[in-house]
Amino acid sequence: ARWPDVRALAAAPLEEVLAAWAGLGYYARARNLHACARVVAGELNGRFPDSVAALRRLPGIGPYTAAAIASIAFGVPVVALDANVERVMARLFAIDTPLPAGKREIAEAARALIPKERPGDFNQAGMDLGATVCRARNPRCDACPLTAHCLAHRRGIATTLPRKAAKKPQPVRRGNAYWIERADGAVLLRRRAPRGMLGGMVEIPSSGWDGEAAPWGEGAPFGLPFAALDAPVRHLFTHFALDLTVWRADRPLPMDHALPDGFFWQPREELEEAGLPTLMRKVVRRVLSSAP
């Protein structure tokens, strides 16, 4: 493994961790994993805390992850409620309060079941059961070890549970990405600020979609003339959809053009190795498949 233990991960530069994560999405997870490794390897002398409360003080560890680590690694009898376990519990007890309000009832039901012995196995069994047997659309009740106890199965309502409150339509944001080449064909990239959307990741310089001011100020960068490619690139984030209009500079920048902090040139044939996130890979594909 590239970083075989927490100390090795803590010693790695964040840029390398983000580049290894590129394309997987949820980039805050990579940043948090790295920040967490630094706290554990530094302040905590390489030892993970063993209580839910102490685990939750680590970067990126919320209630679910803390419960999963505490129960699986340290045998603490707490329920780790992921979507799979939630579904199993809602069906087992025929809880029909729609999510997210129903979460509390489901958690209480699960807490009543968790054993003092091997709570980690209980949690993992629930996760596996939900993933492979008590599936969302097509539960395999005939192969389920809980059939005799399952209220939803008995009432024939398994596939209607858990109920979910109606979702709001996803908002759409709009922004711009700027494809700029240098006289030798290298492409201009930028490392984004460490915090915020795609924090610390490398991008085709973009603006207008993330609530941040563009580093080059108003309008298009470097006073270049641009032409927009046909249709915007669409990308789905967890909470919104993004339509990114891709602009291509009509002429290259000279070899000696000074760049602001965070910007750098990447040889065109090495774009694959730049660690671009999926959104920006879509932008690259769109440009390379469009006629110049």
68 binds ligand SF4 (CB under 6 A): no
Give the DSSP letter string of the chain. Answer: --S-SHHHHHHS-HHHHHHHHTTSS-HHHHHHHHHHHHHHHTTTTT----SHHHHHTSTT--HHHHHHHHHHHH--------HHHHHHHHHHTT--SPBTTTHHHHHHHHHHH--SS-HHHHHHHHHHHHHHTS-SSS--GGG-TTGGG-HHHHHT-GGG-S-BPPPPPPPEEEEEEEE-BBTTS-EEEEEPPSSSTTTT-EES-EESSSSS--TT-SSSGGG--EEE-SSPEEEE-SS-EEEEEEEEESSPBPTT----TTEEEE-GGGGGGG---HHHHHHHHHHHTS--
| Minimum separation from the CB atom of position 154 to ligand SF4 (A) | 9
Among 92, 198, 249, 284, binds ligand SF4 (CB under 6 A): 92
88 binds ligand SF4 (CB under 6 A): yes
125 binds ligand SF4 (CB under 6 A): no
110 binds ligand SF4 (CB under 6 A): no
79/274 with CB nearer ligand SF4: 79
- Give yes or no for a contact between 95 and 89, defined as CB atoms under 8 angstroms apart: yes
102/139 with CB nearer ligand SF4: 139
Among 91, 190, 191, 286, binds ligand SF4 (CB under 6 A): 91
**Residues in 130-159 that interact with ligand SF4 by CB under 6 A:** 133-134, 139-141, 144, 146-147, 150, 152-153, 158
Q: Rounded to the nearest 5°, which phi and psi values hold at 179? A: -95, 115
190 binds ligand SF4 (CB under 6 A): no
| Minimum separation from the CB atom of position 8 to ligand SF4 (A) | 41
| Minimum separation from the CB atom of position 120 to ligand SF4 (A) | 20
Contact flags string 17-56 toward ligand SF4, x per CB under 6 A: ----------------------------------------
Binding residues for ligand SF4, rule CB under 6 A, total 15
89/201 with CB nearer ligand SF4: 89
140/285 with CB nearer ligand SF4: 140
| Minimum separation from the CB atom of position 75 to ligand SF4 (A) | 25
If we measure between CA atoms, which residue out of 10, 56, 57 comes closest to residue 33? Answer: 10
Which spans of this chain sit near ligand SF4 (rule: CB under 6 A)?
A: 88, 91-92, 133-134, 139-141, 144, 146-147, 150, 152-153, 158
